Amino acid sequence: MGNVISVNTGPIVPAEFARRRGRSAIKKLPTTGRVKVGPLGLEGDEQAEYFHGGELQAVYAYAREDLDWWSERLQRPLRNGIFGENLDLIDFDASGAVLAEKWQVGEVLLQVMAPRMACGTFGGWMQETGWAKRFNGARRPGVYLRVLEGGSVAVGDRVEVVWRPARHVTVAEAVGAILDEQDVLRRITAMADEEPEWDRAAMMFHVSNRTRNRAAATSATTPENAPAGTPATADATSNPAPASTGNPTSTGAPATADAPTPATTTATPTPSATTPNPTGPAPTPPTATATQGTQAPQATPAPPAQHTGQEAPATPDRPTGAVDA
C-alpha cells in the first residue's frame, strides 16, 4: 500500500521540442486540493498526441522511487510531474504492477492497462541524447490506467491493490512485448484470454505486427507455450495423425486420401448398424487413387491409403488489439 504525493495536470501548449507537431502537454504541474477524475482522466489535464490519453490511458502514474533512481543517473533533480505523470506515488512499485490489476486511489477505482513507452517528444522535453532508448531499456515505465469508477484524488490518498488476475505479467515485463520479446507477448495474450473484461487494446497498440506474427507462429509449433484455452496443434512432421477410419480428423476436416474406399463392385454394400458413418454417404473415390478402380471386387477392404502428411494447416492464434480492423 502506498500514497499519492503529487497530483499533476497540464494543458496543450506550443513546444519547440515537439518537432513533429509543435505542441505538447507533457509539462504537468502539481495541483492543490482534490481533483475530479472521469473516464478521460483528470479535470484540467490534456494530451496533445492521440496515443497518450483516451479512456484506456486516462491516467499516468509513476513512482517517486523510480524518479529518484533516474535522478541519480542523470545527475540532476527531478521534480514530481517531470515525466508527464498525473500521479506521483510513494511506497508503491508502479512498474511492478500487474497488467489488469485494479487500484483503489482515494475515491477512484483504476485498472492497469499498459506501460508508458518513451516517444520523441519525451526525449525533446528531457533534453537527453538517446532518451527514448534509454528510458524504454530501463524497464521503469510507469503505468497507464483506465478509470473504472470516477471520483476525486488528492495528495495523501492511499493507493491499494484490490484485485489481481490469476496470471501475472508486470508492467515492466510488458515492455518486453513491445521490444520484440515473443514469449512475453504470449503470456499477455494468455492472460487477456482469461480476463475478457480487461481490454488489451492499449497494450497491443505499440506491439509490432512482426512481433505478433512471430509469437503466433511459435505458439502454433510449440503447444506447451500456447495460450490457455488454445487447442494444441499436432506437428505433422514428428507426430503424424493416423490414417482415418471414416471419422473426421482432429482438425475437423478428413484428409481426402485417408479414408479407405472399396474398389468398384456390382454388389450393394450392406450398411453396418454398429459403425455409423458420421459424415454421411461414403465419398466418391478421389482421382489420386484411380488405380483402385481397376481392382477386382474383393471381400476385404483395400489397405488404407498411405498418409500423405497434407493435413489441414494449423491456424495461428493471433493476438487481437486496437489496431485490428
What's phi and psi for 289, nearest 5 deg? -110, 35
Mean per-residue pLDDT of the chain: 77
CB atoms within 10 A of CB 12: 16
234 pLDDT above the threshold of 90: no
Backbone angles phi, psi at 223, to 5 degrees: -55, -30
Q: Which neighbouring-strand residues pair with 108?
A: 105
pLDDT, tens digit, 9 for 90 and up, residues 59-111: 999 999 999 999 999 999 999 999 999 999 999 999 999 999 999 999 999 99
Write down all domains in the chain, each with its CATH number in brackets: 2-175 (2.40.33.20)
- State the pLDDT at residue 317: 38
Task: Give the angle 11-14-15 at the CA atoms, nearest 5°.
Answer: 105
pLDDT of amino acid 222: 57
**Which run of H or E residues covers position 183?**
helix 182-194
Chain centroid to CA 248: how far?
33
Report the b/e string of 92-109 with b at 16+ CB within 10 A.
bebbebbbbbbbbbbebb
**Per residue in 48-72, pLDDT tens?**
877 778 999 999 999 999 999 999 9
**pLDDT tens digits for range 153-206:** 999 999 999 999 999 999 999 999 999 999 999 999 999 999 999 999 999 988
pLDDT in tens, 206-222: 899 989 998 888 777 65
Cell 475478457 locates to: 196
∠ CA 52-322-10, rounded to 5°: 10
For cell 497488467, what's the residue?
99
